[in-house]
Structure 1
Amino acid sequence: MQLTEQKRTLARQSHVRQSTLPLRHDLHQRSLSHCYQRSTLDTASTTHSRLSFSYAPDFLDTTSSGCFTDEFDAVSRMQMGRVRKGLRLVEAKTKDDPNEVSEQLINCLIGIYLELNHVSSKTKGDVSLSRRPSSCSRKSNTYSYYQNAMNLDPYHVLQDSSGGVTRDIGPYKNFIHISRSSIDVTRFTHYCSPAVPRLSILMEKLSEVDLSFLTYKQKLAFWINIYNACIMHAFLEYGLPSSHNRLLTLMNKASLNVGGIVLNALAIEHFVLRHPCEPEHKDSLDEKETLLRHTYGLGYSEPNVTFALCRGSWSSPALRVYTAEEVVNDLGRARVEYLEASVGVSSKKKIVVPQLLQWHMKDFADDIESLLEWIYSHLPRSGNLKGMIMECLKRKAKVPLAKMVEIQTYGHEFRYLLSL
């Protein structure tokens, strides 16, 4: 009787061991698989791939659904939760700072333009020297003289100045000029420089930036840099436009992938940086434009962006790199320096005002008279331009205002003024 009971006990233990072997083997295999998945995800996280992070939680969900026993479910959910939390932390740490990316991008493009400008100027200089007779080799360089003259008067406001007065135009006299005659962007196709792969890397980083938590100043500096980079990149990609209409076409083509959304230069300017106040503009906004303004737009408009947005045209303000920390101060300085260089007084005692200010007059004044007063109030006291404008304003009781102002037509020819 005791022998029979012992046999039955041994049989039950053997059956239990045999039945648990497949389960243990299965759990062991799944544990190895789980470790491999964790290793794969860790490897993916080091590649800074947005796609890997985006799809990692979904991948974990598919591996965890229905794979474990009831006893193992609670533990597996806790582990998966920790993995997801870790991935989010890694993703946040590995994402590049949007403002740093925008600053590096604009600096990279400036470097490319300067190198192309140097190569083109050197090539033209070599050709001109080879064709020049030896008797002319000691003569002054006409090109250098022309460049020096352009530095002294980049917007041609001194050519017909009052009484032939030559005045200081401020910091613009020290800026670097890059024009159609000094650069050949077609060389970019065959351009070999470390800046080219660097540009590709920065473009990739730009497509992955997260703008969700940027402050107002960070947004302002970021979007100014991106707008200017968008135009600069378009010139390299499509060439220099030969007319105003082709410039507008290029601005529609000029686009960058920002955080996974492709935006062109016009959209950045009019739906992110600027805020049209007229009712007709508001009524004409479609759903996409409203969403764009709500998602990326500034909380309130900054009028001084007029002096920061550079279309690469003759009448554009100088190109600068803007940082979140100094953007407000830099915009104020850009305004003063642009006014000092682009506003003048003619020999006929007319105040020369750039058309750019007329286009955006409502950002600064109610009418042309108050615009003149606004210009006067923002000119530096150290220069003599302020006094010259005051003399003109004193005559407004005798001379109609319309005859006191001369609007200088906006020049669309390609040019960059680089503030370095």
Structure 2
Amino acid sequence: MAGRENSRDHSIFQLEKDVLNLQLLLQEEIKLHDVLEKAVEDAAFELSDLSCLPNDAQELLCNITTLKNTVGKLEEEMIYLNFQLIQERNERRLVEYQLKQLPGSLQIMYPIAQATLDDLALEEEEGPTELIQQFAAIERVPLKGVLNHLHPNKLSEEIVRCMKDIFISLANCHSFPSTFSSPESFCSSSSPQGHIPTFWPLSELTSISSWRHSSQVDIQYNNDVLTTGGVFDPYKVREKLSWIDIGNYSLVKEVSWMSVEKKQLEAASDLLKVFRSLVEQLTEVNPIHLSYPEKLAFWVNLYNALIMHAYLAYGVPKSDMKLFALMQKAAYIVGGHSYSAACIEYVVLKMKPPIHRPQTALLLALQKLKLSEEQKRCSIDTYEPLVTFALSCGTFSSPAVKVYSAGNVKEELQQAQRDFIRASVGMSNKRKLLIPKMLHAFTRGFVDESNLPIWISGFLTQQQAGFVEQCISQRKYSLLGSRSCGVIPYDSRFRYLFLPEILR
């Protein structure tokens, strides 16, 4: 009996030993798998991690890493040289164009918002169209004492301002609402119409219901909250009833057309000279030493300017796929490194794939955007979701462009969120809250669908929030169904909104 027990104990001991050996072998395999996966994905890994590999495999991976670094540098040089080639070609064509005499009455108008001008979108092998190249080109004219040696943040601010002025100078004034056709109405430092919305804590929303005047909401004749027409609505869509007070967006300058005549061409040419001087200074900027707020404001400003510059240089893309291709092609040289618009948005600013734009999200999943280790050090450390309301890719559904400062970037991003929500949401004639798809996608994960109207009401005025609460409450007890929100589809048509800088 004792012999059997000893034999069983020996068998158990041997099994435990075999299990331990298998576990050690599994750990080695897992470590080997991790090293190989990092190498394949081009992720950062230490040379000490290679010790688990055979010598020939270690040598091979080291050679692959060296080759990848070399190829990456060559790709950056190629992008830079291609960018310079385009600029040189455009400058030559601009000089040729300026030698021709233009009739004083010449005026060519580009309704970019219309599909008929999708021909402005360019394929990779095509150069800028004959007219667009006039604005993409920037003369190499020395500008002594003009905004030289600025701090990186001040430089990015001036670049956005200059590009904004270029767009406005090329814009057809007839495309703006009549109340905003005067330049003074945009540049004035006076306080905006209405007031900046106050954030209402969820616990206080129950007190808002005291605003109600009757037991039944009169959608068509509620003139205190809703507009029946004549008020500028930057995100007007079918069946949407808009607020009579949309806050700071009532002061935006809208650019959805481009108009060219001799006077505007000359004005744009002067602005582009200044713009070239500013962009050239980016080569001397080193964002590594900037603080988190400074990096955040710097890259947001640079992204918005780069997208606008890309539209002037290459034309307006026909689709989201062409826009993403343009974002990969358009790049600035910052501190000796090339940063494309796509890399700035999704690597430097760490923005998440836009689920409200499925084509772009799919392209991001299929194509990995790469930056060097030094470039990654220039990126922000943590993802800031409010950047969603600061980046504009020039579509009808994009938020407005404004200049962001390093000293107040967090507060300015919070204000950008409030401004966008205030201007973009509205009610339908069936008492359903209408919200843009971008905002709906932004709230996924931290706001339940049933609580979305309450969350949005926190960014509206007290009257608007009370009106929303009353509409949603009545809808729940009607035959219209319990779903209280409708989503406004994303609109990719060309359009820019520019907010004035001085707001209270």
Among candidates 269, 281, 286, match of residue 210 of structure 1: 286
Q: TM-score, normalised by structure 1?
A: 0.62
Tell me, in whole angstroms, the C-alpha distance in 1 between the residues paired with 2:370 and 2:321: 26
Give 1:200 deviation, angstroms: 1.0
Tell me, in whole angstroms, the C-alpha distance in 2 between the residues paired with 1:218 and 1:301: 14
Aligned to 1:135: none
Aligned to 2:499: 419
1:228, 1:311 within 8 Å by CA — same for their partners in 2? yes
1:312, 1:414 within 8 Å by CA — same for their partners in 2? yes
Tell me, in whole angstroms, the C-alpha distance in 1 between the residues paired with 2:492 and 2:403: 22
Identity %: 32
Aligned to 1:304: 386
Among candidates 453, 463, 488, match of residue 372 of structure 1: 453
Rate the CA distance shift 1:151–1:209 in 2: closer, same or farther, 3 A: farther
Aligned to 2:123: none
SS in 2 for 1:312: coil
Is 1:295 aligned with 2:295?
Answer: no
Structure 1, unaligned runs of 5 or more: 1-93, 126-141
Tell me, in whole angstroms, the C-alpha distance in 2 between the residues paired with 1:356 and 1:186: 39
Tell me, in whole angstroms, the C-alpha distance in 2 between the residues paired with 1:397 and 1:375: 18
After superposition, the C-alpha distances for 1:248-284 in whole angstroms (9 at most, x for unaligned) are 332222221122211121211111223549xx99999
After superposition, the C-alpha distances for 1:364-404 in whole angstroms (9 at most, x for unaligned) are x24323443321222233xx321222124435755798732
Moved more, 337-346 or 391-400: 391-400
2:394, 2:496 within 8 Å by CA — same for their partners in 1? yes
1:170, 1:340 within 8 Å by CA — same for their partners in 2? yes
Could you say which structure has the larger radius of gyration?
A: 1
Give the partner amino acid of 2:493: E
Rate the CA distance shift 1:201–1:241 in 2: closer, same or farther, 3 A: same
Structure 2, unaligned runs of 5 or more: 1-147, 183-228, 354-360
Tell me, in whole angstroms, the C-alpha distance in 1 between the residues paired with 2:475 and 2:243: 25
Tell me, in whole angstroms, the C-alpha distance in 2 between the residues paired with 1:187 and 1:333: 37
1:96, 1:209 within 8 Å by CA — same for their partners in 2? no
Is 1:263 aligned with 2:263?
Answer: no
Tell me, in whole angstroms, the C-alpha distance in 2 between the residues paired with 1:309 and 1:287: 19
Give the partner amino acid of 1:389: V
Give the partner amino acid of 1:250: L
Tell me, in whole angstroms, the C-alpha distance in 2 between the residues paired with 1:348 and 1:405: 11
1:209-358 equivalence runs, <5 A: 209-274=285-350, 276=352, 288-289=370-371, 291=373, 294-358=376-440
When the two structures are aligned, how many residues end up with a matched partner?
299
1:336, 1:380 within 8 Å by CA — same for their partners in 2? no
Tell me, in whole angstroms, the C-alpha distance in 2 between the residues paired with 1:193 and 1:145: 28
Among candidates 269, 273, 276, match of residue 193 of structure 1: 269
Moved more, 255-264 or 152-161: 152-161
Rate the CA distance shift 1:224–1:150 in 2: closer, same or farther, 3 A: farther
Give the partner amino acid of 1:167: I
- Calculate the aligned-residue CA RMSD, in Å: 3.8
Give 1:172 deviation, angstroms: 1.1
Is 1:385 aligned with 2:385?
Answer: no
Among candidates 113, 117, 126, match of residue 167 of structure 2: 113
Rate the CA distance shift 1:412–1:292 in 2: closer, same or farther, 3 A: farther
1:151, 1:172 within 8 Å by CA — same for their partners in 2? no
Aligned to 1:97: 151
Aligned to 1:137: none
Aligned to 1:177: 254
Tell me, in whole angstroms, the C-alpha distance in 2 between the residues paired with 1:403 and 1:228: 36
Tell me, in whole angstroms, the C-alpha distance in 2 between the residues paired with 1:290 and 1:372: 43
Give the partner amino acid of 2:245: D
Give 1:219 deviation, angstroms: 0.8
Give 1:407 deviation, angstroms: 0.5
SS in 2 for 1:321: coil
Is 1:407 aligned with 2:487?
Answer: yes
SS in 1 for 2:333: strand
Give 1:143 deviation, angstroms: 7.5
After superposition, the C-alpha distances for 1:37-76 in whole angstroms (9 at most, x for unaligned) are xxxxxxxxxxxxxxxxxxxxxxxxxxxxxxxxxxxxxxxx
Tell me, in whole angstroms, the C-alpha distance in 2 between the residues paired with 1:216 and 1:194: 34
